[in-house]
Chains A and B, each alone.
Chain A
Amino acid sequence: MVADRSPRLDLVFHALAHPARRAIIRQLSGGEQNLSELAAPLRMTFPAATKHVRVLEGARLVRRRVSGRQHLCRLDAAPLKAAMLWTEQFRRNWEARFEALDSLLDELKSAEQSRTRRP
């Protein structure tokens, strides 16, 4: 269990475990935005948006820089990759089973079709 005890990964999963934060990530995938731009379409107050951005910053998914009075946020997708790799093996394990299920279903379908075709 190499990646089993990864505090960084914990932070990433925690950050992703909220719809508002996933929405923020989606929005930032279109490019850098300031906090008010982020908050408006999510119908979020400025403090609420700030709170969520802080969590994302903690997971290093978002980087924030201050330019004058603007707090500009941008996405850093690298930790997302680590999270995806972690689930990828779990996904493959199930996919292998489901591919076996695909073959079984094909077999069951042809068995039924040949039964109905017979008089």
Chain B
Amino acid sequence: MNPTPTTSPKDLQVSTPTDTTIVLTRTFNAPRRLVWEAMFTPDRMRRWMLPPPGWTLTICECKLRVGGALELAWKSEDADPVMTLRGVFTEVVLYERAVHTETMALGSGQTIGSLLEKHEFAEKGGVTAMCITQTYDSKEARDGAIASGMEQGMEAGYQQLDAMLAEPA
């Protein structure tokens, strides 16, 4: 068995190669089967999809087959749902590639934006490189997604810190 490195250049890279795309690349110290399962198995997705503070993930469904549905919903103190995400898988190549559509909507039903999300996985020596390519309908939608990341980013960071501090070491 190959020794698995305990550390690797995991740094998340974000790039915007065209006006309507965002590309995220990240490596994980795990075989791609495990990364794949963590990405697309509902009880595992719940573990890492950190919602903004005050939000709870209420629905998390993921039918990983072509035509299968992806459905997520969050609630807040003020609204249930406060936001929904619905999509359909258009391509599934086990442990290699998964493509799904994605439409985000507010609790009122008003659509925020739609995109196509492609996940690609490559494994080398027990380390998996994952590449997510998000293709938005328009440049405005792409820029909007980055801008909403600005608002939530700080909060997600603080929330994670809170969780770490709450856990006994």
A-B contacts, CB under 8 A, total: 106
A16 within 8 A of B: yes
A3 to B109 CA separation, bound complex (whole angstroms): 26
Which of A92, A95, A105 sits near B29, CB closer than 8 Å? A105
Task: Check B30 against A91 for contact (C-beta < 8 Å).
Answer: no
Task: Check B150 against A97 for contact (C-beta < 8 Å).
Answer: no
Minimum distance in angstroms from B71 CB to a CB of chain A: 18
Task: Check B149 against A105 for contact (C-beta < 8 Å).
Answer: no
Task: Check B16 against A4 for contact (C-beta < 8 Å).
Answer: no
Task: Check A105 against B143 for contact (C-beta < 8 Å).
Answer: no
Residue of B nearest to A107 (CB): B47
Question: Among the interface residues A17, A96, A106, which one has the most CB atoms of the partner chain B within 10 A?
Answer: A96
Which of A4, A14, A90, A105 sits near B35, CB closer than 8 Å? A105
With contacts A3-B147, A86-B146, A104-B38 known, is A97 near B156, CB below 8 A? yes
Residue of A nearest to B39 (CB): A101
Minimum distance in angstroms from A89 CB to a CB of chain B: 4
Return chain A residues, CB-CB under 8 Å to B147.
Answer: 1, 3-4
A57 to B28 CA separation, bound complex (whole angstroms): 39
Minimum distance in angstroms from B131 CB to a CB of chain A: 13
Task: Check A99 against B160 for contact (C-beta < 8 Å).
Answer: yes
Minimum distance in angstroms from B142 CB to a CB of chain A: 9
Q: Which of B117-160 contact A (CB under 8 A)?
A: 139, 143-154, 156-157, 159-160
Minimum distance in angstroms from A85 CB to a CB of chain B: 9
Task: Check B12 against A94 for contact (C-beta < 8 Å).
Answer: yes
Task: Check A13 against B149 for contact (C-beta < 8 Å).
Answer: no
Q: Name 5 A/B residue pairs within 8 A (Cβ), A-sorted.
A: A17-B17, A89-B149, A92-B157, A98-B10, A101-B48
- Interface positions of A (Cβ within 8 A of B): 1-4, 10, 13-14, 16-17, 86-87, 89-102, 104-106, 108-109, 112
- Interface positions of B (Cβ within 8 A of A): 10, 12, 14, 16-19, 22, 24, 26, 28-30, 34-35, 37-39, 44, 47-50, 139, 143-154, 156-157, 159-160
Please give me the 10 A-B residue pairs with the lowest Cβ-Cβ distance, nearest first: A90-B149, A93-B153, A105-B30, A89-B153, A100-B48, A89-B150, A101-B48, A4-B147, A91-B14, A96-B156
Q: Apart from A93-B149, A104-B38, A104-B48, what are 12 other A-B pairs with CB-CB below 8 Å?
A: A1-B150, A2-B150, A10-B143, A87-B14, A87-B16, A92-B157, A94-B24, A97-B50, A104-B44, A105-B29, A105-B38, A108-B44
